[in-house]
C-alpha cells in the first residue's frame, strides 16, 4: 500500500497517474492563493481555503507516511523528513496565522516545474559555495554597519537602521530613506557599494554557470 502511495506522490512519467496527481495538487495550491490577491475576505473564498487546507494537509501526511521511501534512511527518515526544506515550506503554508503564510503555497506548484527541479539540483551542487558567501555577506553587513553607526550615529536612530542601510548598500539597492551625510560616512558608503558588487556577483556567477550546465546535461540525456 505504501509503495503505491509513494508511486502516486512522486514525480514520474506523464502517462502515469502520478502526473495527474501532480497537476491536481498544483492546481489546488494556485487556487488557494487566489483569495490573498484581494484585500477583502469573500465568502466563497472561505470554502476554497478550507478545501485547499484539507487537500494540502493530506498531501503532507501522505509524504510523511512514505518518508522512508523518500529519504531512504529507514525509520530515521520519519524524524528527518519534517525538517527537510520541502516539508517545512508545506507545513508553514498551512499555518492559520495570516495571509503571508498562505503565499508559501506557490512553492507547492513550483516543486513540479522542471526549472525548480534544476534549481534544486544546482543548489545541492553549490550549497557550500553559497553558504560561504552567505557568511561573508552577513559578516560584511555587520562590520560595515558597525563602522557606519560609529561614524554617523546621528543619522541612524538605532543599530538596526545601520544594519538596514548596510544591507541595501551591499546589494547596491539603496532605497535612499537612510543615508550618510558626513564625508567619512559617504566614504564608507562608497567602499561598501564597490565591494558589495563583488560579494553579490560571486554567487550569481556560480549559480548561472551551474544552471546552464544542468540544462545542457538534461538536453544531452534527452537526446540519447
Residue 13 has pLDDT above 70, yes or no: no
Predicted local distance difference test score (pLDDT) of residue 151: 84
Average pLDDT on 201-209 reads 76
- Burial of residue 204 (CB within 10 Å: 0-12, 13-18, 19+) is exposed
Q: Highest-confidence range of 22-26, 53-57, 118-122, by mean pLDDT?
A: 53-57
The pTM of this model reads 0.58
* Cβ–Cβ under 8 Å, residues 139 and 166: no
Task: Give the start-to-end residue ranges of the domains of the chain.
Answer: 2-112, 116-223
Task: Name the pLDDT band for 222 (thresholds 50, 70, 90).
Answer: low
* pLDDT tens digits, 135-180: 888 888 898 889 888 888 777 888 888 888 888 877 767 666 777 8
Measured from the Cβ of residue 61, the count of other Cβ atoms closer than 10 Å reads: 9
Predicted local distance difference test score (pLDDT) of residue 121: 73
Options 3.40.190.10, 2.40.50.140, 1.10.287.70, 3.30.450.90; CATH of 116-223: 1.10.287.70
Task: Name the pLDDT band for 15 (thresholds 50, 70, 90).
Answer: low
Mean pLDDT across the chain: 79
Architecture of domain 2-112: Up-down Bundle (1.20)
Question: Residue ranges of the alpha helices (H) in 66-113?
Answer: 67-71, 77-80, 85-92, 99-102, 106-110
> What does each C-alpha distance from 105 to 46, 61, 111 come to in angstroms?
16, 16, 10
Amino acid at each position: 500500500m505504501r509503495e503505491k502511495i509513494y508511486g502516486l506522490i512522486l514525480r514520474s512519467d506523464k502517462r502515469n497517474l502520478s502526473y495527474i496527481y501532480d497537476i491536481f495538487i498544483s492546481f489546488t495550491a494556485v487556487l488557494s492563493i487566489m483569495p490573498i490577491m484581494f484585500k477583502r475576505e469573500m465568502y466563497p473564498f472561505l470554502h476554497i481555503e478550507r478545501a485547499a487546507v484539507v487537500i494540502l494537509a493530506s498531501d503532507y501526511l501522505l509524504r510523511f507516511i512514505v518518508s522512508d521511501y523518500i529519504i531512504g534512511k529507514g525509520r530515521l527518515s520519519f524524524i528527518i523528513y519534517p525538517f527537510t526544506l520541502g516539508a517545512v515550506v508545506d507545513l508553514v503554508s498551512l499555518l492559520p496565522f495570516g495571509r503571508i503564510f498562505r503565499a508559501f503555497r506557490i512553492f507547492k506548484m513550483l516543486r513540479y516545474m522542471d526549472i525548480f527541479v534544476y534549481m534544486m539540483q544546482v543548489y545541492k551542487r553549490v550549497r557550500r559555495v553559497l553558504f560561504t558567501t552567505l557568511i561573508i555577506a552577513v559578516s560584511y553587513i555587520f562590520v560595515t554597519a558597525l563602522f557606519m553607526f560609529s561614524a554617523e550615529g546621528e543619522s541612524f536612530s538605532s543599530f538596526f537602521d545601520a544594519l538596514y542601510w548596510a544591507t541595501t548598500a551591499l546589494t547596491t539597492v539603496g532605497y535612499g530613506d537612510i543615508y550618510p551625510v558626513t564625508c567619512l560616512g559617504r566614504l564608507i558608503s562608497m567602499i561598501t557599494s564597490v565591494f558589495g558588487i563583488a560579494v553579490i556577483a560571486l554567487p550569481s556567477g556560480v549559480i548561472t554557470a551551474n544552471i546552464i550546465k544542468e540544462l545542457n546535461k538534461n538536453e544531452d540525456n534527452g537526446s540519447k
